[in-house]
Amino acid sequence: MYNDNNAQTIVEYIKNFTRKNSLFMLAYGTGCGAIELPATLTSRYDAERLGVRGAATPRQADLLLITGYLSTKTLKRVIRVYEQMQDPKYVIGFGSCTINGGMYWDSYNTIKLLDKYIPVDVYINGCMPRPESVIAGFKELQRLIAEGKADGATKYKENLDWYRENQKKVLKNWPLVEYNW
Amino acid sequence: MNTILFQLSGALATILLAFTVGMFYGGIRRKIIARIQNRVGPPIYQNFLDVIKLYSKDTSIHHGAMQHMGPVFAITASITSLMFIPVLNGDGWFWFKNLNFSGDLIFLVYMMVFGSLGMALGAGQTGNPNSAIGVTRGLSQMVGYEIPFVMSMVALMAQFHTTSITGLMNIQMQENTWLMFSNPFAFIAAVLAMLGMFHYSPFDIVHAPAEVASGPVSEFGGKYLGLMMSSGSIFAFVKLTLFVDVFMGGAANLIELVIKTFALYLIPVLYGVVSPRYRTEQAITYFWKWPLFFGILAILWASF
């Protein structure tokens, strides 16, 4: 956890410890992968023992879970949801579709690599990933948070122009307001 | 000067006690629910982690002035109510003597509503339709459970000719009995009203995440959510301690207080775990049937 090059202060350590053990998850479940989440959260696999619990709205959430493919229409909503969330925030790309388009590689209206539009911290591979893989993904995210490496939100702020350019390439009628932070 | 400092530090210690106890009770509730659903469940200190994380989050949402004041109203109401609750029997605890005066039970009945009203104002400012629905549900439900609660309190006040909590506690000490035996119908009505006060299932129509996206708090994130969680924990302690003071003879020391409040807390928790959610009109009519009947019985018992 500690090393000489990147020594964290005690406060940062405590913050990261609470952040990793208390993830309020907003599952963006328009793709087919959302069906794996009830099993992950309920009795059989019980993600709540890791501190993962569902959040009702983006304002309360720390973790955005994108399950499955994103069409250009739903991408607008994802960007809007992501920008409504409060820092520090994390994104998990769930399933092959968020990595390379998966079985929608040839589709005319789905995006292929999610990381070009919003910063993804952890990918969970598979089609579909089973609840075990989802929990492994949560564990990996917790490791990154503890090491202070899950800084997708900072990346998004610093490279906003690049992300906006990519977003506008697929969204012809730009639906969102322009921020000036 | 010294007395003021002692009072202030005592008040601070009381707030910390209420916060810690309420948070641990919330954690134990999550553990109980998990065990009943055959899960492992989060550790019982999970709520502390949640609150520390929420306080360390950025909060850059602005919908208007009232939105920032709503959570502050909620926690102000909780702490103000706490200051009027005698934590232990006798002369207070840890230098802190509660702000007792002769009409404090009537004052508390009003003060315990203030937090919900503040929240309603704050949630109304955000303009989220889910918040508006949640607020109307919450206020309707409050109309439901406040009536049996007030009736049972009025019955006690009429029966023992005192409107102060310490007065009721002194009567229990002198007569060496608990008021839940002196006026059992008032206790039943108050406990049934308490089910609604806690907003736990089956009366969680206000915060139903699947129906109205957590209702009034749907636009509140980060520090405001943390503030509301703290307020909720303190308020849970306030309600439980009030019931223990009024009906169960108060507590002589902290261990007795924890045992009694936890026994009382198990009622809404265990009732909630096995019950699905009511619809709004079902929740209100629930309170206007048996709890109201027991409230009327309590007043009759007090008069004759």
Please answer yes or no on whether A15 and B53 come within 8 Å at the CB atom: yes
Q: Does the CB of A88 have a partner CB in chain B at under 8 Å? A: yes
pLDDT tens, B282-299?
Answer: 888 999 999 999 999 999
Query: CA of A161: how far to CAs of A81, A87, B131, B147, B221, in Å?
Result: 18, 19, 34, 58, 26
Query: CA of A50: how far to CAs of A115, A142, A147, B49, B184, in Å?
Result: 26, 9, 17, 12, 44
Q: What is the pLDDT of residue B28?
A: 93
Please answer yes or no on whether B220 and A46 come within 8 Å at the CB atom: no
pLDDT tens, B37-68?
Answer: 898 889 999 999 999 999 988 888 888 888 88
> Can you tell me the distance from the alpha carbon of B170 to that of B256, in angstroms, rounded to the nearest whole number?
17
Q: What is the pLDDT of residue B25?
A: 93
Residue for token pair 């059992």: B184
pLDDT tens, B176-218?
Answer: 888 888 888 999 999 999 988 888 888 888 888 788 888 888 8
Q: What is the pLDDT of residue A12?
A: 82
HEC letters along B39-57 = CCCCCCCHHHHHHHHHHCC
The count of structural domains within chain B is: 1
Please answer yes or no on whether B209 and A54 come within 8 Å at the CB atom: yes
CA atoms within 13 A on the CB side of A156: 24
Query: CA of B269: how far to CAs of A17, B231, B264, B266, in Å?
Result: 29, 19, 9, 5
Q: What is the pLDDT of residue B48?
A: 92
Distance of CA B35 to the CA centre of its chain: 24
| Backbone dihedral angles phi then psi of residue A62, each to the nearest 5 degrees | -105, -30
Neighbouring C-beta atoms of residue B115, cutoff 10 Å: 26
Residue environment code for B12-24, b if the CB has 16+ CB neighbours within 10 A, otherwise e? eebbebbbebbbb
pLDDT tens, A96-129?
Answer: 888 888 888 888 888 888 888 899 999 998 888 8
> Can you tell me the distance from the alpha carbon of B295 to that of A103, in angstroms, rounded to the nearest whole number?
64
B93: which strand partners? B96
| C-alpha radius of gyration, chain A, whole number | 16
Q: How many residues does chain A have?
A: 181
Most B CBs within 10 A among A8, A9, A22, hence the mutation to make, goes to A22
pLDDT tens, B151-176?
Answer: 999 998 888 888 888 888 888 888 88
Q: Does the CB of A56 have a partner CB in chain B at under 8 Å? A: yes
Q: What is the pLDDT of residue A179?
A: 60
Please answer yes or no on whether A46 and B39 come within 8 Å at the CB atom: yes
Please answer yes or no on whether A48 and B39 come within 8 Å at the CB atom: yes
> Can you tell me the distance from the alpha carbon of B159 to that of B144, in angstroms, rounded to the nearest whole number?
24
Q: Quick check: B35 and B93 in contact, CB under 8 A?
A: no
Residue A90, SS3 per DSSP = strand
**Residue B233: partners with Cβ closer than 8 Å, 6 or more residues away:** B18, B19, B21, B22, B23, B25, B26, B47
| C-alpha radius of gyration, chain B, whole number | 19
Nearest to B49 among A18, A56, A59 (CB): A18
Q: Where are the alpha helices (DSSP H) in chain A?
A: 10-21, 36-41, 72-84, 97-100, 131-146, 152-158, 160-170
B129-160 and B184-197 are packed helices; what angle lies between their axes, rounded to 10 degrees?
160
Most B CBs within 10 A among A26, A86, A87, hence the mutation to make, goes to A86
Most A CBs within 10 A among B39, B40, B59, B133, hence the mutation to make, goes to B39
Q: Quick check: B195 and B144 in contact, CB under 8 A?
A: no
CA atoms within 13 A on the CB side of A114: 31
Q: Quick check: B69 and B121 in contact, CB under 8 A?
A: yes
pLDDT tens, A126-165?
Answer: 888 899 999 999 999 999 998 888 888 888 888 888 988 8
Arithmetic mean of pLDDT, B122-134: 86
Q: Does the CB of A54 have a partner CB in chain B at under 8 Å? A: yes
User: What ipTM, to 2 d.p.?
Assistant: 0.85
pLDDT tens, A65-96?
Answer: 988 888 888 888 888 888 888 888 999 988 88
Q: In whole numbers, what is the pLDDT of chain B averaged over residues?
A: 87
> Can you tell me the distance from the alpha carbon of A25 to that of A43, in angstroms, rounded to the nearest whole number?
17
Please answer yes or no on whether B214 and A88 come within 8 Å at the CB atom: no
Please answer yes or no on whether A56 and B220 come within 8 Å at the CB atom: no
Q: Does the CB of A85 have a partner CB in chain B at under 8 Å? A: yes
Asked if the model's pLDDT at residue B19 lies above 90, the reply is: yes
Chain A residues with CB-CB distance to B220 below 8 A: 59-60
Q: What is the pLDDT of residue B11?
A: 85
Query: CA of A14: how far to CAs of A1, A82, B104, in Å?
Result: 12, 25, 41
Asked if the model's pLDDT at residue A181 lies above 50, the reply is: no
Arithmetic mean of pLDDT, B66-82: 89
Asked if the model's pLDDT at residue A51 lies above 90, the reply is: no
> Can you tell me the distance from the alpha carbon of B109 to that of B47, in angstroms, rounded to the nearest whole number?
28
| Backbone dihedral angles phi then psi of residue B138, each to the nearest 5 degrees | -65, -45
pLDDT tens, B93-110?
Answer: 666 677 778 888 898 888
Q: Does the CB of A43 have a partner CB in chain B at under 8 Å? A: yes
Q: Does the CB of A83 have a partner CB in chain B at under 8 Å? A: no
Position A8 confidence tier, pLDDT thresholds 50, 70, 90: low
**Residue A92: partners with Cβ closer than 8 Å, 6 or more residues away:** A63, A64, A65, A66, A120, A121, A122, A123, A124, A137, A138, A141
Q: Chain A residue closest to B131 (CA)?
A: A57
Q: Chain A residue closest to B36 (CA)?
A: A43
| Backbone dihedral angles phi then psi of residue B218, each to the nearest 5 degrees | -65, -25
pLDDT tens, B262-273?
Answer: 999 999 999 988
Domains and CATH numbers, chain A: 10-170 (3.40.50.12280)
Its domain, for residue B277, covers 2-303
| pTM as predicted | 0.88
CA distance B47 to chain A (A): 9
Q: Quick check: A48 and A55 in contact, CB under 8 A?
A: no
